[in-house]
Amino acid sequence: MRTYEDFTDLMAADREPRENYFTLASCILPRPIALVSTVSANGVPNLAPFSFFNGVCANPPSLVFAPVTDRTGKNKDTVNNLRATRECVVNVVPHEIREAMNRSSFAFPPQVNEFEEAGFTPLASRLVRPPRVAQSPVQMECKLIQIVKVGEGPLSGNLCVCEVLCFHIASEACLPNGTADVTGIDLVGRLGGDGYATTRDRFDLPKPALPTG
Ligand SMILES: Cc1cc2nc3c(=O)[nH]c(=O)nc-3n(C[C@H](O)[C@H](O)[C@H](O)COP(=O)(O)O)c2cc1C
């Protein structure tokens, strides 16, 4: 295995938040994408993608995603809606809906229905008010556990910790053991800059057995 000996050290405290953001986003990848559906206190549906996103644990089944504040330190609509209603749906993003997902990332004003702007079809959820995205093969209905504020000012974080109440997996991609088929859902991940990845180039690495003898 190759070892690295020469490093460029970037002291985070000496850098602008924007610079640290671009460095983080180019080093942590590929990142899964949560296409998050919420509704405002007065019922306007909202959609936005977040790639600072992952699962947390299985008991309860839970996930996190992290909308940052904008350049002026203002919260995004997703955070305002979650605070007001404590519900969301996390939809996954297959290659086929990449353009519409990208459109939903535009900073529309809060009164705009982003399902309509992006061209997505809303599907009623079973347990929460935010609709699901019919073009996504896996939708997770969630209730908010807590929002952890990380830092303050521009580009500070709101780590949204959510419990999954119901998984909806498109039957054609749902395996008998209740997992999703990786080929069937064909998800994309975010790289740094404008880059994205698919999951089509794959390899297996079985779990190691304990060395014997
Ligand atoms: C693929 C992708 C991933 C994104 N990931 C994040 C993220 O992790 N955190 C964040 O604050 N913004 C992220 N954005 C930008 C938000 O989607 C964008 O700010 C959006 O307008 C927020 O919408 P809202 O105000 O309706 O919540 C991402 C955008 C794209 C296209």
Average pLDDT rounded to a whole number, residues 139-150: 98
User: Residue 201 domain-assigned?
Assistant: no
User: Residue 11 domain-assigned?
Assistant: no
E strands within 11-156? 31-32, 34-39, 45-50, 53-58, 61-65, 87-91, 122-123, 132-133, 138-150
Please give the distance, rounded to the nearest whole angstrom, from the Cα atom of residue 13 to the centre of ligand 1: 24
Q: Give the domain range for residue 111.
A: 16-193
- Ligand 1 pocket mutation, candidates 46, 51, 70, 108, criterion most atoms within 8 A of CB: 51
Question: What contacts 164, CB < 8 A, 6 or more positions away?
Answer: 60, 61, 62, 63, 90, 140, 141, 142
CA distance 159 to 199: 26
End-to-end CA distance of the chain: 25
Entry pTM: 0.97
Please give the distance, rounded to the nearest whole angstrom, from the Cα atom of residue 207 to the centre of ligand 1: 35
User: Residue 25 domain-assigned?
Assistant: yes
User: Residue 7 domain-assigned?
Assistant: no
- For residue 191, count other CB atoms closer than 10 A to its CB: 16
pLDDT tens string 166-200: 999 999 999 999 999 999 999 999 999 999 999 99
Q: Which atom of ligand 1 is nearest to the CA of 106?
A: 21
AA identity, residue 9: D
- At residue 213 the predicted structure's pLDDT band, cuts being 50, 70 and 90, is confident
Report the domain count for the chain.
1
Q: List the Cα angle 79/137/54 in 5-degree steps.
A: 45
Distance of CA 54 to the CA centre of its chain: 7
Q: Average pLDDT over the chain, rounded to whole?
A: 96
Residue 40 belongs to domain with CATH number: 2.30.110.10
pLDDT tens string 43-94: 999 999 999 999 999 999 999 999 999 989 999 999 999 999 999 999 999 9
| Pocket residues: Cβ below 6 A from ligand 1 | 33, 46, 48-52, 66-68, 76-78, 102, 105, 107, 190
Residue 212 in this model has a pLDDT that exceeds 90: no
